[in-house]
């Protein structure tokens, strides 16, 4: 059997083990930047889109783990995030989707398009424009919009989120921020000290305009792409009940549940890797 096939089978087996059996974050499943090319030409390339107040850096460990298992991975750095120096005024939702579309186009085949948090809005719109180039959409603690939704409109209905009360909006600067003393609780209450240091060191305020932008989605494009969801049951940013609410009326091919906060790519990257490989 091909080594990559063995690894995928092992990933599926790992996810069926009892919580804590691997000594890392617990999880269960139901249903089933930069780039690097792996050794299995039949494997679908991954394109990963990070969430708000983060950057491609937040997915470094997951990307490295997927590549070590033979996958081709591109982690997109959204404009005005991470090391990207795009001006806030130019960081529009259209600019976000254009950058992800370029990564999908460059991948050379149908991709597994992964979106975390805000990234769920972006990958949904990209799926509308590039449906035939996407093998599956994977939402990780992410917003799942319907036609006409904006992130802010959705987020305002999440009664259990700690993010809303913490949010500091500066309409003059066109930004939204989170006080540094609340970053840990909102985004990664289960993170290690090292991961929290990265969270703080890489923090930047979020462009406001993309949060207010609405998506345009149709059944004939976005609707035909297979969708998968990774729930984060201890999430303080996009609450678990709200994740369930967003997915209730959506056809989901398979789901997984991770017993983590909002940023499992930081707090439990190994579990995220095995989950992605298991879909």
The CATH number of the domain where 238 resides is what? Answer: 3.40.50.1820
Structure tokens at 179: 């006080």
Residue that is written with structure tokens 């690894």 in the block: 7
Stated length of the chain: 279
Instruction: Name the band, by pLDDT with cuts 50, 70 and 90, for residue 3.
Output: very low
Please state the separation of Cα 185 from the chain's center in Å. Answer: 19
Residue 36 pLDDT > 80: no
Instruction: Name the band, by pLDDT with cuts 50, 70 and 90, for residue 21.
Output: very low
Residue that is written with structure tokens 């005024």 in the block: 89
DSSP 8-state assignment for residue 225: S
Residue 20 pLDDT > 90: no
220-266: per-residue pLDDT in tens?
Answer: 999 999 999 999 999 999 999 999 999 998 999 999 999 999 999 99
Range of the domain at 231: 3-278
Angle between helices 60-68 and 269-278 (to 10 degrees): 50
Give the C-alpha separation, 222 to 256, whole Å.
Answer: 21
Count of domains in the chain? 1
Please give the model's pTM, rounded to 2 decimal places: 0.86
């Amino acid at each position: 059997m091909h080594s990559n096939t063995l690894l995928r089978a092992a990933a599926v087996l790992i996810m069926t083990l009892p919580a804590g059996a691997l000594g890392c974050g617990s999880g269960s499943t139901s249903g089933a930047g930069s780039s690097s090319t792996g050794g299995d030409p039949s494997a679908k390339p991954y394109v990963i889109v990070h969430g708000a107040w983060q950057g491609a850096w937040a997915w470094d460990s997951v990307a490295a783990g997927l590549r070590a298992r033979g996958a081709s991975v591109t982690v997109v750095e959204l404009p005005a995030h991470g090391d990207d120096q795009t001006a806030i005024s130019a960081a529009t939702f259209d600019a976000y989707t254009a950058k992800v579309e370029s990564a999908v186009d460059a991948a050379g085949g149908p991709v597994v398009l992964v979106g975390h948090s805000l990234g769920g809005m972006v990958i949904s719109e990209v799926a509308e424009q590039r449906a035939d180039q996407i093998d599956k959409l994977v939402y990780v603690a992410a917003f799942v919009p319907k036609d006409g939704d904006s992130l802010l409109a959705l987020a305002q209905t999440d009664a259990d989120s700690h993010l809303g009360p913490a949010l500091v909006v500066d309409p003059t600067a066109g930004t939204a921020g989170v006080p540094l003393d609340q970053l840990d609780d909102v985004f990664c209450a289960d993170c290690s000290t090292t991961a929290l240091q990265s969270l703080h060191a890489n923090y930047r305020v979020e462009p406001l305009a993309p949060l207010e932008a609405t998506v345009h989605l149709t059944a004939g494009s976005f609707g035909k792409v297979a969708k998968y969801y990774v729930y984060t049951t201890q999430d303080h940013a996009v609450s678990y009940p709200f994740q369930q609410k967003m997915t209730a009326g959506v056809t989901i091919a398979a789901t997984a549940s991770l017993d983590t906060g909002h940023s499992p790519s930081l707090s439990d990257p190994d579990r995220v890797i095995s989950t992605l490989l298991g879909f």
